[in-house]
């Protein structure tokens, strides 16, 4: 191993690992090149403890630098938005966020259905009946997935940054930001899929008990859903549905 900092993020991690290796029936040592030290040496624990503390400090400093750079981006109105798990959006060849029209149809269907009176469960079942997968490719839609889409402000073109934050650089646990950290709002920061008036209407409906639809306008889920891979070596490749007929495939590749 080149150095302690390459092996562990903090003192407890390193000490715990090397003691576990040392306690094996056939003890295993860790050789650290930059200080010419073998953990099987009897006098190594004190030196390793000091070195691990230094490594922990380096990890904390790097974490603080990364956090600072991210916050500075937020302050300047530069969001960090992954699209692999964001239904309705993708990135073009220049890394700009654009609407994926095939997925945007699903988003509009979800909003229209909810406005017409369907519940989250009914919307999820309708999507599954139409064999439309989730953004991550799963066959099963949950109520939570529907509600997350209905509540996501990005669909009206607005971005709220730092809705969650990392507790510390060791556990890497993420926590919902309930006011512990500042949030940053960017209007018109992303192309909208849902008009702001309809998005606001849905937020009001979400506060009310769900009621039976009295509308005669039945919202129909898209039958031919064209899903493209968003990441990896096969990015932008189309995923073919085995249930498609020849005419459907021709329609896809027009």
89-225 maps to which CATH number? 3.90.1750.20
**Contacts for 65-72 with beta carbons within 8 Å, 24 or more apart?**
67/166, 71/162
Would you list the domain boundaries of the chain?
A: 4-75, 89-225
Query: Taking 60 as the threshold, does the pLDDT of residue 84 lie above it?
Result: yes
Q: How far apart are the first and last CA of the chain?
A: 55
pLDDT band at 167 (very low <50, low <70, confident <90, very high): low
pLDDT tens, residue by residue, 168-199: 655 567 777 777 777 777 788 789 999 999 99
205 and 114 Cβ atoms separated by less than 8 Å = yes
User: What are 200's two structure tokens?
Assistant: 């606001």
State the Cα torsion 140-146-148-153 to the nearest 10°.
Answer: 140
Query: Taking 60 as the threshold, does the pLDDT of residue 77 lie above it?
Result: no
Q: What is the pTM of this model?
A: 0.61
227 and 239 Cβ atoms separated by less than 8 Å = yes
pLDDT tens, residue by residue, 214-253: 444 455 666 666 666 766 666 667 676 676 677 666 666 6
pLDDT tens, residue by residue, 102-127: 899 999 999 999 998 899 999 999 99
What is the per-residue pLDDT for 97?
85
Residues 133-157 as b or e (16 or more Cβ within 10 Å = b): bbbeeeeebeeebbeebbebbbbbb
**What 3-state DSSP class applies to 175?**
strand
pLDDT tens, residue by residue, 43-69: 776 776 776 676 666 666 676 666 656
């Amino acid at each position: 191993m080149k150095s302690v900092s390459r092996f562990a993020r903090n003192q407890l991690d390193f000490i715990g690992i090397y003691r576990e290796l040392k306690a094996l029936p056939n003890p295993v040592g860790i050789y650290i090149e930059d200080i010419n030290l073998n953990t099987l040496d009897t006098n190594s624990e004190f030196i390793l403890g000091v070195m691990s503390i230094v490594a922990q400090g380096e990890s904390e400093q790097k974490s603080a630098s990364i956090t600072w750079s991210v916050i500075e981006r937020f302050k300047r109105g530069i969001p960090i938005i992954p699209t692999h798990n964001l239904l309705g959006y993708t990135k073009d060849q220049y890394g700009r966020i654009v609407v994926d029209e095939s997925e945007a149809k699903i988003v509009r269907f979800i909003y229209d259905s909810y406005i017409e009176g369907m519940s989250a469960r009914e919307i999820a079942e309708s999507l599954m009946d139409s064999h439309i997968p989730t953004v991550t490719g799963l066959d099963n839609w949950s109520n939570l997935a529907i509600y997350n889409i209905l509540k996501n402000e990005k669909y009206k073109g607005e971005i709220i940054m730092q809705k969650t934050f990392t507790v510390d650089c060791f556990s890497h646990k993420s926590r919902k930001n309930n006011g512990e950290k500042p949030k940053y709002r960017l209007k018109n920061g992303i192309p909208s899929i849902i008009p702001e008036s309809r998005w606001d209407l849905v937020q009001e409906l979400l506060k009310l008990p769900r009621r039976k639809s009295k509308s005669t306008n039945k919202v129909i889920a898209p039958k031919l859903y064209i899903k493209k891979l968003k990441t990896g070596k096969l990015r932008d490749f189309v995923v073919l549905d085995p249930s498609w007929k020849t005419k459907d495939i021709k329609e896809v590749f027009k």
